[in-house]
Amino acid sequence: MDKYDIFLNDLNKHLDLDLHGYKRPQMERRINSLMRTLQIDTYDNFIKRMREEQLIFNRFLDHLTINVSEFFRNQSQWDVLKEKILPVLLQNNKSIKIWSAGCSTGEEPYTLAMILEEYCSQGNYSILATDFDLNVLNKGIEGVYSPKDISGIPEDYLKKYIVNQNGSFRVKDNIKKSITFKKHNLLKDSFDTNFDLILCRNVVIYFTEETKSQLYRRFFYSLRTQGVLFTGSTEQIIQAREIGFNSIAIFFYQKP
């Protein structure tokens, strides 16, 4: 076992952070880059500093995860969701249960809620928004964004669902009310079940192929029958049929 593997084991043991399922080259590069920036010379010293200083550990989490999120990211995919997927999901259901897995700073679940407000006039939907980084979750809970952050929101949605507060932009409470933000580690924690829709977009690109496969199988079992998994623009599931999914549109996979 080399020094990097020992470091991963110590991370898991002392800081409850399991990075074994992540691709090694990218992770190792990011970790070593941060250590140089912080002028920390060994993995042992890095573990020691993170255990003693919360700010160092928080910086490590921020450095590991890209946390790039946008409202209406890849607009054409949201159009497919709105025009083809949601009508099917809502056809036989008075309410729908949704999970935004790896939600980062909240733009994805808020985008989804805005779209659903147009479809579910009674607000008969619930969105679970999860991430393992508490810092980004707290920004999502706050729901306040910069002018640059909201640039992707269509004008009619901006008028309905966003409030200008002295140059910052806050998501209205009627959008927030159906979203529950929660800390969750996709690689360690148990999954809830009976979801109508799961979004996991631009998250698994950091995982090994074996970890991706395990994750997609877990998503499959977390969906109800006819439920749909919505993936990112670089994350087509090669083994979709083997898992049991039907591909119903590009980046949309249904549990039969």
CATH number at residue 158: 3.40.50.150
Q: How many domains does the chain have?
A: 2
Which pLDDT does position 65 carry in this prediction?
A: 65
Which pLDDT does position 141 carry in this prediction?
A: 95
Question: Nearest Cα to 242, choosing from 219, 204, 205, 213?
Answer: 213
Asked whether residue 131 falls in the same domain as residue 240, the answer is: yes
Q: Please name the residue that has the structure tokens 């799961």.
A: 198
Asked whether residue 87 falls in the same domain as residue 173, the answer is: yes
Q: Is residue 245 part of a domain?
A: yes
According to DSSP, residue 248 is labeled: E
Distance CA 18, CA 185 (A): 9
Residue 86 pLDDT > 70: yes
Q: Is residue 226 part of a domain?
A: yes
Asked whether residue 113 falls in the same domain as residue 198, the answer is: yes
H-run or E-run covering 93: none
Asked whether residue 8 falls in the same domain as residue 45, the answer is: yes
Which pLDDT does position 127 carry in this prediction?
A: 96
pTM of model > 0.75: yes
Distance CA 41, CA 36 (A): 7
Beta strands across the sheet bearing 125-131? 179-183, 125-131, 96-101, 195-200, 223-231, 252-254, 246-249
Asked whether residue 45 falls in the same domain as residue 154, the answer is: no
Mean pLDDT computed over 204-208: 79
Asked whether residue 22 falls in the same domain as residue 119, the answer is: no
H-run or E-run covering 48: helix 43-52
Range of the domain at 81: 75-254
Distance CA 20, CA 70 (A): 28
Asked whether residue 52 falls in the same domain as residue 86, the answer is: no
Q: Are 124 and 131 in contact (CB under 8 A)?
A: no
Question: Nearest Cα to 207, choosing from 185, 181, 183?
Answer: 185
What is the crossing angle of helices 43-52 and 54-64, to 10°? 120
Q: For 17-26, 79-88, 244-253, which range has the lowest pLDDT when averaged over its residues?
A: 17-26
Using the 3D structure, point to which of 19, 42, 64 is the last residue of a domain.
64
Q: Which residue has the higher pLDDT, 62 or 35?
A: 35
Which pLDDT does position 27 carry in this prediction?
A: 82
Residue 40 pLDDT > 60: yes
Strands 162-165 and 168-171: antiparallel
Mean pLDDT computed over 84-98: 86
Residue 229 pLDDT > 80: yes
Asked whether residue 194 falls in the same domain as residue 88, the answer is: yes
